[in-house]
């Protein structure tokens, strides 16, 4: 039987979407999936079905799927060449149904909600998770409650609202809102599948399992992932740890979590060798999708990353924007600033001589650039104007690179 487990006190608890934090340690609980003799079901089409033995589901209801996962692993040869990098790949999560990796977690949480007879789901979000939860809630016919932090871009509000959830823009402290949503959820029977929900984290594991097969069952040397609340990277690490526990692999990748410098509480705690994360007074970064100053999975991620031998680092906004442009101009991949932290982090470690030339590196590109259009500064040369008569002379005046 599946259980919840606290990584800090090792206590186990019954699986319950309304009780997802250890009552003693106040840390997020993780799913323990005991199925022994785990196999991959490659005869199936959907990632959740292929990976079923690793997931806390008895079966997968395909009617709830929006086609999440199975995202491409793209080789970034132009970036490799320009920056003298070793083998570099992007796991392009921006092609998920609502254009971010959040769909993997929401898909799993929705499967669980329906299998348990839950009728109301919700989330607390700065953007991507709101859109994703609204979409999956609509597909599953669930009453959906989305609490969005005040200040979200118009694109986020519109692309959440179109699915017609109950959408509330909430003023106030984000950490407090996170905790309040969980207590209100218990009272009102709304399953808040927030950023570090144990089932959401199980959904993120599937990304790692896909990478493992896309590399012909080889372990990459480095996996770079953006970090905010911590849930995503916790899931990515947990999957490789489970592959190791079940004898599929003998070593883990080096995980590199990247935060934006203006909101980097976990990176600070990691660098200062602190046992726990201190919340930051304010978050100031262009990468607003990863701007949680009070990350609920911070302590758990610190613990897991230290065990796994990875690092959590940070990178300033100007390097994030530079990396966003590099991915677009050289590779044709338009990501939101949060996701560009991965390349910015890699370039920083490369400059510091910390990346071996033989390495195989994966960047997890978590969200599509269409979600933050107002932050794009085009160069003058990107937009020109002409009438038809002058078009030829304008074309002739364009300097060729």
Ligand X SMILES: Cc1ncc(COP(=O)(O)O)c(C=O)c1O
Q: By the criterion CB under 5 A, which residues form the site for Zn ion?
A: 6, 8-9, 22, 24-25
Of the candidates 207, 220, 228, 194, the one whose C-alpha atom is nearest the C-alpha of residue 54 is 207
Question: x-or-dash pattern for ligand X, window 357-386, by CB under 6 A?
Answer: ---------xx-------------------
Residue 49: which residues within 8 A CB-CB, separation 6 or more?
Answer: 41, 60
Buried b (16+ CB within 10 A) or exposed e, 220-258: bbbbbbbbbbbbbbbbbbbbbbbbeeeeebeebbbbbbb
Of the candidates 260, 318, 312, 322, the one whose C-alpha atom is nearest the C-alpha of residue 289 is 260
Question: x-or-dash pattern for ligand X, window 213-232, by CB under 6 A?
Answer: -------------xxxxxxx
The distance of closest approach from Cβ of residue 45 to ligand X in the complex, given in angstroms and rounded to an integer, is 26
Name residue 298's beta-bridge partners. Answer: none
The distance of closest approach from Cβ of residue 267 to ligand X in the complex, given in angstroms and rounded to an integer, is 12
Residue 30 or residue 135: which is nearer to Zn ion going by CB? 30
The distance of closest approach from Cβ of residue 167 to ligand X in the complex, given in angstroms and rounded to an integer, is 17
What is the footprint of ligand X within residues 249-278 (CB under 6 A)? Answer: none
The residue written with tokens 């259009």 in the block is 373
What is the full DSSP assignment across 103-125?
A: HHHHHHHHHHHHHTT--EEEEEE
Instruction: Choose the one of ligand X, Zn ion, none that binds residue 8, judging by a C-beta under 5 to 8 angstroms depending on kind.
Output: Zn ion
Size of the site for ligand X (CB under 6 A): 18
- Residue ranges with strand state E in 154-297: 166-170, 191-192, 222-226, 254-260
What is the footprint of ligand X within residues 297-336 (CB under 6 A)? Answer: 336
Using CB under 6 A as the binding rule, whether residue 238 contacts ligand X is answered as no
Residue 92 or residue 366: which is nearer to ligand X going by CB? 366
What is the full DSSP assignment across 314-347?
A: EE-HHHHHHHHHHHHHHH---B-HHHHHHHHHHH
The distance of closest approach from Cβ of residue 30 to Zn ion in the complex, given in angstroms and rounded to an integer, is 11
Among 289, 326, 333, 343, binds ligand X (CB under 6 A): 289
The distance of closest approach from Cβ of residue 225 to ligand X in the complex, given in angstroms and rounded to an integer, is 7
Among 128, 133, 159, 299, binds ligand X (CB under 6 A): 128
Residue 49 or residue 96: which is nearer to ligand X going by CB? 96
Name residue 315's beta-bridge partners. Answer: 260
Instruction: Choose the one of Zn ion, ligand X, none that binds residue 22, judging by a C-beta under 5 to 8 angstroms depending on kind.
Output: Zn ion
Among 338, 343, 349, 355, binds ligand X (CB under 6 A): 338
- Nearest residue (beta carbon) to ligand X: 367
Instruction: Choose the one of Zn ion, ligand X, none that binds residue 9, judging by a C-beta under 5 to 8 angstroms depending on kind.
Output: Zn ion
Name residue 166's beta-bridge partners. Answer: 145
Of the candidates 126, 125, 144, 147, the one whose C-alpha atom is nearest the C-alpha of residue 135 is 144
The distance of closest approach from Cβ of residue 146 to ligand X in the complex, given in angstroms and rounded to an integer, is 14
CB-count exposure of residue 274 (10 Å: 0-12, 13-18, 19+): middle
Angle at which helices 128-140 and 154-161 pack, to 10 degrees?
10
The distance of closest approach from Cβ of residue 3 to Zn ion in the complex, given in angstroms and rounded to an integer, is 13
Note the residues at the interface with ligand X (CB under 6 A): 100, 128-129, 195, 226-232, 289-290, 336, 338-339, 366-367
């Amino acid at each position: 039987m599946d259980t919840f487990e606290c990584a800090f006190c090792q206590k186990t608890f019954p699986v319950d979407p309304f009780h997802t934090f250890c009552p003693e340690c106040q840390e997020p609980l993780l799913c323990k999936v005991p199925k022994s003799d785990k196999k991959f079901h490659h005869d199936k089409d959907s990632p959740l079905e292929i990976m079923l033995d690793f997931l806390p589901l008895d079966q997968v209801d395909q009617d709830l799927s929006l086609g999440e996962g199975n995202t491409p692993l793209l080789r970034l040869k132009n970036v490799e060449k320009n920056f003298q990098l070793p083998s570099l790949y992007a796991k392009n999560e921006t092609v998920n149904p609502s254009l971010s990796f959040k769909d993997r977690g929401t898909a799993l949480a929705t499967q669980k909600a329906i299998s348990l007879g839950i009728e109301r789901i919700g989330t607390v979000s700065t953007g991507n998770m709101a859109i994703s939860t609204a979409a999956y809630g609509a597909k599953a016919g669930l009453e959906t409650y989305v609490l969005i932090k005040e200040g979200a871009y118009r694109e986020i509000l519109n692309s959440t609202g179109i699915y017609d959830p109950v959408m509330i823009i909430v003023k106030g402290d984000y950490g407090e809102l996170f905790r309040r949503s969980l207590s209100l959820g218990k009272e009102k029977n709304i399953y808040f599948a927030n950023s570090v929900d144990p089932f959401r984290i199980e959904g993120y594991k599937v990304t790692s399992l896909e990478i493992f097969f896309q590399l012909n069952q080889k372990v990459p040397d480095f996996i770079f992932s953006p970090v905010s609340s911590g849930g995503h990277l916790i899931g990515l690490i947990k999957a490789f740890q489970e592959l190791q526990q079940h004898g599929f692999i003998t070593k883990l990748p080096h995980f590199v979590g990247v935060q934006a410098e203006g909101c980097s509480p976990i990176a600070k705690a990691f660098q200062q060798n602190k046992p726990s994360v201190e919340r930051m007074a304010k978050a100031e970064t262009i990468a607003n999708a990863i701007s949680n100053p009070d990350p609920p999975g911070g302590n758990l991620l610190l613990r897991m990353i230290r065990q796994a031998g990875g690092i959590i680092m940070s990178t300033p906004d100007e390097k994030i924007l530079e990396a966003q442009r590099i991915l677009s101009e050289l590779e044709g991949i338009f990501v939101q600033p949060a996701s560009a932290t991965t390349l910015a982090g890699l370039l920083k470690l490369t400059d510091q001589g910390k990346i071996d030339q033989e390495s195989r590196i994966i960047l997890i590109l978590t969200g599509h650039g269409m979600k933050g259009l107002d932050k794009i500064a085009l160069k003058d040369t990107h937009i020109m104007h002409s009438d038809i008569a002058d078009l030829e002379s304008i074309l002739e005046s364009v300097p060729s690179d």
